[in-house]
Amino acid sequence: MANQPVKYIFVTGGVMSGLGKGITAASLAKLFKSRNFKVNLQKCDPYLNVDAGTLNPKEHGECFVTKDGAETDLDLGHYERFIDQELTQSSSVMAGRVILKVIQDERAGKYEGDDVQIIPHLTRAIQEYFLEASRGFEIQIIEIGGTVGDYESLSFLESIREFGFKVGRENCLYVHLVHVPFLNTSQELKTKPAQNSVRELRSIGIFPDVLVARSDHQITQPIKDKLALFSGLKLDSILSLPDAKSIYEVPITIEESGIMPVIFQKLQIKNKKSDLDDWKKMLTKINKKFDQTVKVAIFAKYLDNNDTYISVLEALKAAAWYNQVNLSFQMIDASKYDQDANSNNLKKLFNNFDGIIVPGGFGVRGLEGKIKAARYALENNVPYLGLCLGMQMAVIAAARNAGLDQATSFELNDQSKYQVISTMNDQLDKMMTGGTMRLGDYNCHVLDQTLAKKLYRQSDIIERHRHRGECNQVFVNEYEKWGIKASGFNLDSNLVEIIEGINHPFFLASQFHPELKSRPNRPHPFFVGFIKSLINNKK
C-alpha cells in the first residue's frame, strides 16, 4: 500500500458492555494481517486512571503487560494472541494518561494563554495518540472502551468523530457493535436496543459504516433487513456475530460473512487474498474431543471471574491443544488453606488433580495456602508450575520443607530476617504506587542441563515481568540443600529468573509471566512442558 494514507477503523459498542468489542477488533486485525497488511491495534479506556496497573483485578480482570512495560487492559492480551505481534505502550490509552498530558502541557505553558478545553484540546490530544500509534502501519484498529451513551466515553467519541473529518472519511471506518437479544417468552429477536444505540451514536455525529449484531442467536433475514433500514446501511454492511464456541472462531466467521470486501471498498483499498490455513488448522484441534483429559488445580486469589487469569487460561488451553488432550481446570481459593493445618485436606483436594498452578498475585491473602500447595507438589512429585508469585511461594515452600520454618517473603513479613523473597531497595517505599514495579521485558540466561533449557531449547530468552519481589541473593546458595536450583538468571542484575526442583518430575517456576507471550497456535514451552508432565503423571 505504498504512499497510501493510514486507514483507521474505530470499534464502538452500544446497549451494554461485554459484547466482545475486543475480540471483534482483534479478529478484524487478524484478517488484515492474514492479507499481509501492516496492522496495529489500540485500546482507549475512559477511566481516569493513567494505566491499568492500579486497577483491582477483581473488577477489571487481568492487567496485561507489554514488552516495554506498559500495564494495560486485558484486551491487549487478546490482540497479541490474535495477531501474534508484540504491542507497546502506544496501544493503550487510558483517559487519565491523556488528561495528565494535557495538564502537564498546560503547566509547561505549551497552550500559550489559550483556555484549555475538552474540545479541542483534549480531543486533539487523544487524536495524537491515534497518529503516534499508527506510524509505520497501514491499518490502525482502535477500540473505544465503554458503551456509547456513557458520559465517560464522550471525549473519545467526539475525538473519533472529528478525526474522520481530519483524515478524510475514506480513511476512516466506524464499526458499531450492538446487542440483539432473544426473548424466550415470545421466541423472537428484538432490535429496539440496537435501534436506540445507533440513534445515540448518530446524535453525536457518528454514522456507522458497519453494524455488528451480537446475539446468542443467528440473526434472521427479516431482522437484518430491519437493522439495515433503521441504521441507514446497506444489507451487506450488517454483520451477524452469534456467540461463538471459541473466540478464535470469530475471524473465520467474519471472513466467511463476506463483510471484508465491503470494508475494503469503503476504505478504498484493494482487497488481497487471505491466508488463514494455520488458524484453521488450530481451530480443528480446538474443536476436537481428545481421548485423554488432564486436570489442573489453579491455586488462586481472585475468583470472581476467570478474566483475572485470562492469559494463564489461554496459555494452558493452547498447550493442551498442542499436546492433544482435553483440559479441565478448577480455580481453588488458596486463602481457604491459609490457616488449615490439616495436610489431609490438601491431599484430599489434590487427589482430584494431575497438577498445580500458582499464578501471579498481590497482597497477603492466600499466600500461606499457596505455599502449602507448592510444598505439597514438591514433596509428592506432583507437577507444579509457578508464575511470578507462584515462583516466590515455591522458594519459600522449598526452604520450609528443608527445615527453615521461618522462611517468608516481603509481603508476608516485612521485618523478618528470613525473607527468602525480598524487594530491591528501590522498591521499599513504593508499595502501592503506579508504574514502579519491575515491568516488561528483561533478558534471562538459561543454564545448561536444566528442565528450563530442555523446554526452551535455547540459552538466552526474553520474558515479561510485573513484580516487586525477587529471590533474596543471600539465600540462593542454599537452594540445592532445599531441593531446588536456580536455572535462569538476568545477565545484568544477576537476579534469579527461573527455579526448578531437583529430582522432581516437573517443578518449574519463573519470576516472569510466561503466559503473556504464549499464543493459541504457539504455546509457551513452559506450558507445553507442564501439560506433557501431567500426561506422563497419569501413566
Q: Does 366 bind ligand GLN (CB under 6 A)?
A: no
Which residues inside 5-64 make contact with ligand GLN, applying CB under 6 A? Answer: none
Are the beta carbons of 179 and 198 closer than 8 angstroms?
no
Quick check: helix, strand or coil at residue 164? helix
CB nearer to ligand GLN: give 13 or 361: 361
Helical spans, DSSP H, in 287-356: 310-323, 343-350
One of 176, 179, 467, 513 is an active-site residue; which one?
A: 513
Site string for ligand GLN, 378-417 (x = CB under 6 A): ----------xx---------------------x------
CB nearer to ligand GLN: give 239 or 367: 367
Distance CA 212, CA 202 (A): 16
Q: Does 81 bind ligand GLN (CB under 6 A)?
A: no
Selected binder of ligand GLN within 20, 22, 360, 529 (CB under 6 A): 360
Query: At closest approach, how far in Å is the CB of 472 from ligand GLN?
Result: 12
Which residues, other chains included, contact 104 with Cβ-Cβ below 8 Å and sequence gap of 6+? none
Are the beta carbons of 436 and 53 closer than 8 angstroms?
no
Query: At closest approach, how far in Å is the CB of 362 from ligand GLN?
Result: 4
CB nearer to ligand GLN: give 45 or 411: 411
Q: Does 301 bind ligand GLN (CB under 6 A)?
A: no
**What amino acid occupies position 174?**
Y
Q: Is 217 a catalytic residue?
A: no
Query: At closest approach, how far in Å is the CB of 389 from ligand GLN?
Result: 3
In the numeric block, the cell 478525526 is attached to 163
CA distances in angstroms from 44 to 11, 14, 16, 156, 210, listed in the order given: 10, 15, 17, 8, 20
Distance CA 395, CA 484 (A): 8
Cis peptide before 120 (omega within 30 of 0): yes
One of 388, 465, 471, 500 is an active-site residue; which one?
A: 388
CA distances in angstroms from 499 to 133, 355, 357, 424, listed in the order given: 37, 17, 15, 19
Q: Does 469 bind ligand GLN (CB under 6 A)?
A: yes
CB nearer to ligand GLN: give 362 or 507: 362
DSSP 8-class letter at 47: -
CA distances in angstroms from 407 to 376, 402, 481, listed in the order given: 16, 10, 14
Q: Is 515 a catalytic residue?
A: yes
Q: Does 468 bind ligand GLN (CB under 6 A)?
A: yes
CB nearer to ligand GLN: give 33 or 466: 466
Q: Is 513 a catalytic residue?
A: yes
Per CB under 6 A, the segment of 12-20, 221-229, 357-365, 442-450 that binds ligand GLN is 357-365
Residues that bind ligand GLN (CB under 6 A): 360-362, 388-389, 411, 466-469
